[in-house]
Structure 1
Amino acid sequence: MAGKAYIVGVGMTRFEKPETREWQYWDMAKEAGGKALADAGIGYEAVEQLPVGYCYQASTAGQRAAYELGLTGIPVYNVNNNCATGSTALMMARQFVESGLNDCVLALGFEKMKRGALGGGADGGDFSTSPVARHYGVMAAAHGFEMTPPTAQIFGNAAREHMERYGTTAEQLAAVGAKNHRHSAHNPNAQFQDVYTVEEILAAKTIHRPLTKLQCSPTSDGAAAAVIVSERFVREHGLAGRAVEIVAQAMTTDTEESFASGSCIDVVGKPMSRAAARQVYAAGGLGIEDVDVIELHDCFSVNELLTYEALGMCADGESGKLVADGATTYGGRWVVNPSGGLISKGHPLGATGLAQAAELVWQLRGTAGDRQVPGARVGLAHNIGLGGAAVVTVLRR
């Protein structure tokens, strides 16, 4: 029978610049998974299934990582959904539990990456066979194709469209980066803890106009994990004091709306995000007005602004003013990316969605330390992958 699902344990490694430390992906997975199990107060033998997310390792890397936690013979599912991989693993775990199939599932995500910009899903630079060929085709038709990192290029062009359409300013885009770098100063797990002014962010190296380096998420090594259990498991193991309910969750993919307009704003996923948010609000009986803290997919500063609009935090075109007015930081209406977000916390693709969940669990438990959002009771996570998948999750304590 269908029932509720709860997160009772979370863990993550520090996110680090690739090649900083001599460790393998199974080492980071062991660390994050072990922390999540310890947080829940259970052993690996209690875990019945294990979805494992990653993008850059070989097939069955999920099993190799799981073997460091235990050799119990449970099913391991290897998950790859681009940048939404971690939240996809979380969604699988929730479905296993809510369906009544399992009482305890571990969701794990990791990535061991290379330095430098992402290639955008092309093999050897040939975008004709890329899974995101249609997306880059829309961009090329409207803006051409330049010799800059392709993911920065498609989001940078979305930023230019937003500026032209709504009058969004470079300063408002930079304010996203300044906010998230400021937040990460209090996060010991973040790849960066440096604080920058808007002026310093604008003066940084341009990656693709108008985006500077300090408005772009870095490549990262790291892992994150979450233990998802049934209401019965919570009761039988005395975990009510640690449990955070997964109120609702939705995943969407591209529809005709993503491509019909020829706009990079749509092709990078705003319609997917809006649809996922609407589904979650309807399923959970909550709205954005009920949310206190948000971890969203700021792979580039512009995507944070687009996501404000997709989540219903403001009308289309008003997101630049929202961040500039301080509505999305401490003392504002919401606190968005208290962890530092992808821009400053880091972005190991397979781990990102689960790291968002970990941050929200800490926030809702009231254990986030110097970055604690006062009185946080409801949290929302937004994780998106180009190509495409958008996952929105609402958590409640």
Structure 2
Amino acid sequence: MPYTPRKAYIVGVGMTKFDKPRGERDYPELGLEATVKALIDAGITYDHVETAAVGYCYGDSTCGQRVLYQLGLTQIPVLNVNNNCSTGSSAVAIAANAIMSGQVECALALGFEKMAAGSLGSAWNDRAPPMEGTMSQLFEIEGDKEYEVDDFGPFAARIFGAAGQEYCERYGATWDHIAQISAKNHKHSVNNPYSQFRASPSAEEVSKARKITRELTLPMCSPTSDGGAAVIVASEDFVKANKLEDRAVELAGMGIATDSPRLYEDKSRIELAGADMSRRAAQKAYQQAGVGPKDIQVIELHDCFAANELILYPALGLCAEGDAHKIVEAGDNTYGGKWVINPSGGLESKGHPLGATGVSAVVYLSLQVRGEAGAIQVKDREVKYALSNNVGLGGSAASFILTKPPFYKEGGHNKDRFGYDLASEVRPVSEEELAKVRSKHISDYVPPSLPESKL
């Protein structure tokens, strides 16, 4: 008989505020805060977690264990994940696959990052860079004839800026459209207390801001960030056994993809930015969920640079190739339009701690589906389906589609678990909250924790 995978459900979410790297909070604290909040939201302890996938890009080999040992030495598998900017989504996929395959009933996906200030760079100079093929393709396509290499700006920004420029050249859009996307995302972030930036520059101000590359200005670029995010993923049996029907969000579709030959064969700057793997991931997610772009109400997509949001509209099936700027002109990417895209503020505003980014999109969308997203909640329509997109050059792309399951019970709210509205107020976790979710079976073990002033 053909194998039919079980369904997976998000039953608990937690997150720290994303903030500018200042060296004030270390990754064990960031990861612990996010995990404790997710466990409290689910109403369970760490003893219920049977496996964990932990994503981060900047850190030594067992940072996941360093974080989770604070909750108890329960001997569960802890899998550390690094997949560039899609690291967080990769962790969610690993946790979901553990549920869907029947290996476990409850899994944790955690992502965090403690980043250095300034643009991204490699820690290695004695080995081949993973993206050397993409780098050589960009040099070949653009020529490097009119500009010195250093004039282009940071390499990631160069890729996405070049992709936006190609879209404008091909389809008649202008950089004013991209400035409008950036202004829209910054405006959304004003209502998100977890966002790194909460200013709201106009499109004109975005356009006139300091240039980072030939095309991109500073407000069009995501910042480096510190932060953490976590989700608890469970089976239907676990949901019902623990009476979590009032918070279970079904992972209806999941698509994970890497690059196709178009990365090199098309000689396209848009393809160098990962467009085809996003197409593939979205198509797989839609197919699995049995829905299409018109069924989606809210989207969190990977706007590491504002130009990437523009080229992702057709990649996610929201419009035909060449019509992305028409979505901008019609206001179909914000409240009152066809879709609300990046209500969190997107990476440009809420921040981009690489390991946490993909997990945070699932956190935000789970709250949207539950109707608990606070001031950024989509209120003019019921959120029946929510779509996330996460892109890591090099490459990996992930899309998830979330919805309420048929057995969902209205009436629950995270305020009942926390004593405050999780989406509207950012609070650190207390020693009491940590004690509440720490393993009870390892009662004679008191793990090293951060000073009380840090919790």
Alignment TM-score, normalising by the size of structure 1: 0.97
User: 1:101 is matched with which residue?
Assistant: 103
Q: Give the one of 39, 42, 46 matched to 1:40.
A: 42
Number of equivalences: 393
In the TM superposition, what whole-angstrom CA distance separates every residue of 1:342-382 from its partner, at most 9, and x where no partner exists?
A: 00000000000000000001111111111110221210000
Residue matched to 1:394? 401
Q: CA deviation at 1:209?
A: 2.2
| Residue 124 of structure 2 is aligned to residue 117 of structure 1 | no
> SS at the partner of 2:397?
strand
| Cα offsets for 1:278-325 (capped at 9, x unmatched) | 111112111011111000000011110111110111111111121132
1:238 and 2:237 matched: no
Partner residue of 2:192 out of 187, 190, 203: 187
Q: Residues 324, 68 of structure 1: CA spacing in aligned structure 2 closer, same or farther, 3 A cutoff?
A: farther
Residue identity matched to 1:13: T
Unaligned runs of 5+ in 1: none
Q: 1:149 aligns with which of 154, 178, 183?
A: 154
2:15 paired residue among 12, 25, 28: 12
Is the CA contact 1:122–1:129 (under 8 Å) kept in the aligned structure 2? no
| C-alpha deviation, 1:162, in angstroms | 1.0
Q: CA RMSD in A?
A: 1.2
Tell which deviates more after alignment, 366-375 or 379-388.
Answer: 366-375
* Change over 3 Å in CA distance of 1:59–1:359 after alignment to 2: same
Aligned to 2:135: 136
2:74 partner SS? coil
Give the counterpart letter for 2:137 in structure 1.
V
5+ long unaligned stretches in structure 2? 405-455
Alignment of 1:369-388 (within 5 A): 369-374=374-379, 375-388=382-395
Kept in 1, the 8 Å contact 2:297–2:385? The answer is yes
Q: Is the 8 A contact 2:164 2:311 kept in 1?
A: no
For 1:116 and 1:222, how far apart are their aligned partners in 2? 16
**Distance of 1:166 and 1:214 partners within structure 2:** 24
Tell me whether 1:170 sits opposite 2:175 in the alignment: yes
Report the secondary structure of 2:79's partner residue.
strand
- The answer as to whether partners of 2:227 and 2:353 remain within 8 angstroms in 1 is yes
Cross-structure match for 2:258 = 253
User: Could you tell me whether the CA contact under 8 Å between 1:360 and 1:379 is conserved in 2?
Assistant: yes
What does residue 308 of structure 2 align with? 303
What CA deviation, in whole Å up to 9, does each residue of 1:5-48 have, x standing for no partner?
Answer: 000000000000001x5211010000000000000000001000
Secondary structure in structure 2 of the residue aligned to 1:195: coil
Give the aligned partner of residue 272 of structure 1.
277
TM-score (normalizing by structure 2): 0.85
1:152 and 1:330 mapped to 2: Cα distance? Answer: 28
Matched, 1:291 2:296: yes
- Higher mean displacement: 289-298 or 140-149: 140-149
Q: CA deviation at 1:244?
A: 0.2
Q: Which has the larger radius of gyration?
A: 2
Q: Residue 357 of structure 1 corresponds to which residue in structure 2?
A: 362
Q: For 1:46, give the aligned amino acid.
A: H
Identify which range, 280-289 or 10-19, moves more after superposition: 280-289
Deviation of residue 122 (structure 1)?
7.3
Counterparts of 1:175 and 1:348, CA distance in 2: 24
**SS in structure 1 at match of 2:386:** strand
Which amino acid counterpart does residue 399 of structure 2 have in structure 1? V
Deviation at 1:172, TM superposition (A): 0.1
Q: Which secondary structure does the structure 1 equivalent of 2:71 belong to?
A: coil
Secondary structure of the residue aligned to 2:299 is strand
Say whether the 8 Å CA contact 2:95–2:108 is kept in structure 1.
yes
SS state of the match for residue 81, structure 1? coil
Contact 1:84 1:385 survives alignment (8 Å): yes
Residues in 1 aligned to 2:80 and 2:116: alpha-carbon distance in whole angstroms? 21
Counterpart of 2:9 in 1: which secondary structure? strand
% identical aligned pairs? 50
Report the Cα offset of residue 69 of structure 1.
2.4
From 194, 197, 221, the counterpart of 1:216? 221
What secondary structure sits across from 2:158 in the alignment? helix
Structure 1 residue identity aligned to 2:61: S
- Which aligned segments of 4 or more residues in structure 1 are displaced greater than 4 angstroms? none
> In the alignment, which residue of structure 1 is the partner of 2:444?
none
Cα distance in 2 for partners of 1:363, 1:396 equals 10
